[in-house]
Structure 1
Amino acid sequence: METVALLLVLSSAFLHATWNAMLKRYPNPEAGVVAVITVAMVGGALWAFGMHGAAFPSWKGLGWAVVAGVCESVYLAALSRALHRAPLGLVYTVSRGGAMLLVWPVSVLALGEGVSVWTVTGAAVLGAGLVVMQLTRPEGRVASGFAWAALSAVGIAGYHLSYKVALAQGAQAPALFTVGMLIALPVLVVERGRRFGWAPLAREAWSRPGSVLVAGIFCMLSFALMLSALGNSGAGVVLTLRNTSIAFALVLAAFQGERMGRRQLVGAGFVSVGAVLLGLPG
């Protein structure tokens, strides 16, 4: 992977972990995610308006953007529920690690992504780090969060692969992101509105407008950087490197008062080493 792409993905990982950590501290993460995605979508639309040329040169690109949006809605709905029930460190380990295990085989076998000794070794080391970071077997409410995090992994894998295919069809990154959010947001609003009630949803979603604004901007920038790197790099290596957000999330979780055990610290070290190996030239 080129140095520029590597820096883009690592910056994306940091911003992604940061907005997730902010959502974790929100009074009601399941309502807060609606406001965060609204801000991100508006930012993506402004970004798209500043671009030149056709947003989607082919209908296939637009179709994959729609698929990405459906996967985004699954990811966001499951993520907010997982964060409401389980620690940030556990949610991140399961969702990001599970997505990596799903994306790598598909990207290599179906999308023709190349592999080298460094990428294979890096992926293995990073995967080992994810395993090491696993906490004790979850029970009760945390077990429910674990299950939602696993569903989130499916959504993450789906939108990464869909975005990669859409970019290969010539879709512009800002338009691709905005379409994805345009599909994901209404799904979230309807689902949460029916569950919480429309007035309580609006009240709780915007209870901290400053935090929502910052988290939404970080969310949009995270996806912008990721899509920029994805256009010139394989889906597997981009997703794997973006999983370094797990290490960032653990640090942020510690600042939020979550206990970091020896296993988590060792696992974070493996994740960091794996990221370095993935960034080495083939």
Structure 2
Amino acid sequence: MTGLVFAVVILAAALHAAWNALVKGGADKSAAMVAVVVGQGLFGAALLPFVPFPAAESWPYLAGSVVLHMLYQVFLMQSYRFGDLTQVYPIARGVAPLLVALTSAFILGVTFSSLEIAAVAMISIGIASVSLVRRGDGIVQGKAAVLALITGCFIAAYSVTDGLGARQAGTALGYYGVLSALDAVIFAGLARVWRPGLLGRSIALKRTLFLGGGASFIAYALVVWAFTQAPIALVTALRETSIIFALMIGVFLLGERLSLAKVLSTALTLAGAVLLRVGRA
């Protein structure tokens, strides 16, 4: 992983945490989630005239990814209804790197150095352990934890799918432009049928629509490009260091509690990111 790819994924991690905080901090979390998805679709549609169209070999991946992204969005939306950002986010993001690494090793045949394996493990444990400190507060939301775990499985699934799809597409931006536009159209249609009035409330959230949608689009566009430059598992693990940014946002902007355990968990995640950079270098 080059220094450029490393920096790009860290930037994507910060943007990813920012839009998650917008969804969690909103009074109507369902409307906020739909607004982010529609917003990223608008950015994707605006990009399409300026980038190549993805090759036909990537279309099956696109179709599967649209389904996986929609399931991820639904479960994330439900997770935030029951749990804090500092509980839901670590579980959902912590399980993904391990699942992607296992898939890469046992299904895709990717080999990793011992340092890279240790780095992925440290990042995953560091992220997931943040959620465990809620037990000390006595307010663990069990339903939120289960929903977040399922969300993490979908994150792993769409990460592998998009990594392979972008490589087949021949254009990372073209691939994600089509993906985000399709995702927005279908998700908006489902939202309109599922909850009448939800789509209208979402579009009215202009800040979330444009800022959240824009942050989400840029964040994942950078990640999809990185998938074509470095092993999918390593990009996924590094992207999940967004927990560091999510923790800061949760504490300083959303008023969630900070503890020594959270600080130590974040430090372990950061150490894993550093080790990942050293291992690939």
Using the size of structure 2 for normalisation, the TM-score is 0.91
Q: Partner of 1:266 in structure 2?
A: 264
Distance (Å, rounded) in 1 between the aligned partners of 2:24 and 2:233: 27
Distance (Å, rounded) in 2 between the aligned partners of 1:91 and 1:234: 26
Q: Is the 8 A contact 2:44 2:181 kept in 1?
A: no
Q: Partner of 1:25 in structure 2?
A: 25
Q: Is the 8 A contact 1:29 1:84 kept in 2?
A: yes
Runs of 4+ in 1 over 4 A off after TM superposition: 137-141
Deviation at 1:139, TM superposition (A): 8.7
Distance (Å, rounded) in 2 between the aligned partners of 1:131 and 1:184: 28
Q: Partner of 1:202 in structure 2?
A: 199
Describe the shift of the 1:140–1:204 C-alpha distance in structure 2 as closer, same or farther (beyond 3 A): farther
Aligned length: 277
Q: Is the 8 A contact 2:40 2:184 kept in 1?
A: no
Q: What pairs up with 1:164-183 in 2 under 5 angstroms?
A: 164-183=163-182
Q: Which amino acid aligns with 1:268?
A: T
Structure 1: state its 5+ residue gaps.
none
Cα deviation per residue 1:203-228 (whole Å; 9 max; x = unaligned)?
Answer: 42134312321111101100111111
Q: Which amino acid aligns with 2:78?
A: R
Q: Is the 8 A contact 1:127 1:271 kept in 2?
A: yes
Sequence identity percentage = 24
Q: What pairs up with 1:43-58 in 2 under 5 angstroms?
A: 43-52=43-52, 55-57=53-55
Q: Partner of 1:69 in structure 2?
A: 66
Distance (Å, rounded) in 1 between the aligned partners of 2:173 and 2:26: 27
Distance (Å, rounded) in 2 between the aligned partners of 1:142 and 1:86: 6
Q: Partner of 1:13 in structure 2?
A: 13
Q: Partner of 2:93 in structure 1?
A: 96
Describe the shift of the 1:258–1:211 C-alpha distance in structure 2 as closer, same or farther (beyond 3 A): same
Distance (Å, rounded) in 2 between the aligned partners of 1:179 and 1:139: 44
Describe the shift of the 1:228–1:142 C-alpha distance in structure 2 as closer, same or farther (beyond 3 A): same
Secondary structure in structure 2 of the residue aligned to 1:134 = helix
Q: Partner of 2:250 in structure 1?
A: 253
RMSD value over aligned CA atoms?
A: 2.0
Q: Is the 8 A contact 1:34 1:189 kept in 2?
A: yes
Describe the shift of the 1:132–1:227 C-alpha distance in structure 2 as closer, same or farther (beyond 3 A): same
In the alignment, which of 107, 114, 127 is matched to residue 130 of structure 1?
Answer: 127
Describe the shift of the 1:69–1:167 C-alpha distance in structure 2 as closer, same or farther (beyond 3 A): same
Deviation at 1:194, TM superposition (A): 3.6
Deviation at 1:187, TM superposition (A): 4.4
Cα deviation per residue 1:65-104 (whole Å; 9 max; x = unaligned)?
Answer: 1111111101111111111210001111111111122111
Cα deviation per residue 1:38-67 (whole Å; 9 max; x = unaligned)?
Answer: 111121122232124xx222x331110111
Q: Partner of 1:193 in structure 2?
A: 192
Cα deviation per residue 1:180-204 (whole Å; 9 max; x = unaligned)?
Answer: 234433443344334432xx21342
Q: Is the 8 A contact 1:8 1:228 kept in 2?
A: no
Distance (Å, rounded) in 2 between the aligned partners of 1:4 and 1:143: 39
Distance (Å, rounded) in 1 between the aligned partners of 2:123 and 2:140: 28
Deviation at 1:254, TM superposition (A): 0.4
Q: Partner of 1:278 in structure 2?
A: 276
Describe the shift of the 1:215–1:261 C-alpha distance in structure 2 as closer, same or farther (beyond 3 A): same
Q: Which amino acid aligns with 1:202?
A: L
Secondary structure in structure 2 of the residue aligned to 1:259 = coil
Distance (Å, rounded) in 2 between the aligned partners of 1:277 and 1:178: 32
Q: Which amino acid aligns with 2:21?
A: A
Q: Which amino acid aligns with 1:111?
A: L
Moved more, 138-147 or 77-86: 138-147
Q: Is the 8 A contact 2:94 2:125 kept in 1?
A: no
Q: Does 1:222 align with 2:219?
A: yes
Structure 2: state its 5+ residue gaps.
none
